[in-house]
Amino acid sequence: MKIILFASMSVNGMIADKNGQEDFLSDTSWKYFVKTVEEHDCLIVGRKAYEAVQKYSDYNFNDIKTKLKIVISSNNNFQPDSSFVFAKSPEDAIEKATAMNIDNAVLAGGSMTNSAFIINNLIDEVVLIVEPVFIGGGIPVFATKEFEKRLSLTNSQKVDNDILMIKYKILK
């Protein structure tokens, strides 16, 4: 299964501020995210990212049309809404997607989930939307874990005003 990590972030790699808020992200980021997910078969998110985005009134994951949506949480008592499948780990998410004949997925995890996927060599590509802002004291794309991955640039473009899209293939 091909997994594409998608992250909208500040120039210094923050996906949210220290309170988990994403107010600095633009509508352009959300629209590009939705377009990317809807071009693929599955959305995988971590519980914290799921809970944060589902609170927004202007947009949330329920608006996205894709074959399968999965929430990963180590809390077995967590209950996502009925449009999502629960998984307890990245491997469990992949097993559930594969069982439903899913060939590709977009991961929008949150730093802990993103790290769990990349450490286990489960990410094939990365799409970064870079917003023109620095966030001091925030939540990074990846949690502080020991790993190193080499990348190969496959595309970059200006998507709106000062917003960049950068795509990489993970070298394995």
Say if 164 falls within a structural domain: no
Q: List residues bridging with 160 in a β-sheet.
A: 163
Longest dimension (CA), the chain: 43
Q: What is the mean pLDDT of the chain?
A: 94
What pTM does this model have?
Answer: 0.95
Q: Is the C-alpha dihedral spanning 56, 18, 79, 1 positive or negative? A: positive
What would the mean pLDDT of 71-90 be, rounded to a whole number?
93
Say if 80 falls within a structural domain: yes
Where in the sequence is the domain holding 144, given as residue range(s)? 2-11+20-102+111-150
pLDDT at position 117: 97
Residue range 108-134, pLDDT digits in tens: 989 999 999 999 999 999 999 999 999
Say if 167 falls within a structural domain: no
Rounded distance between C-alpha atoms, residue 86 and residue 93, angstroms: 8
Q: How many domains does the chain have?
A: 1
Say if 137 falls within a structural domain: yes
Residue range 31-51, pLDDT digits in tens: 999 999 999 999 999 999 999
CATH number for 134: 3.40.430.10
Residue 101 burial (C-beta neighbours within 10 Å; 0-12, 13-18, 19+): exposed
Rounded distance between C-alpha atoms, residue 75 and residue 67, angstroms: 24
Say if 170 falls within a structural domain: no
Say if 163 falls within a structural domain: no
Say if 79 falls within a structural domain: yes
Residue range 5-34, pLDDT digits in tens: 999 999 999 999 998 888 899 999 999 999
For residue 26, count other CB atoms closer than 10 A to its CB. 18
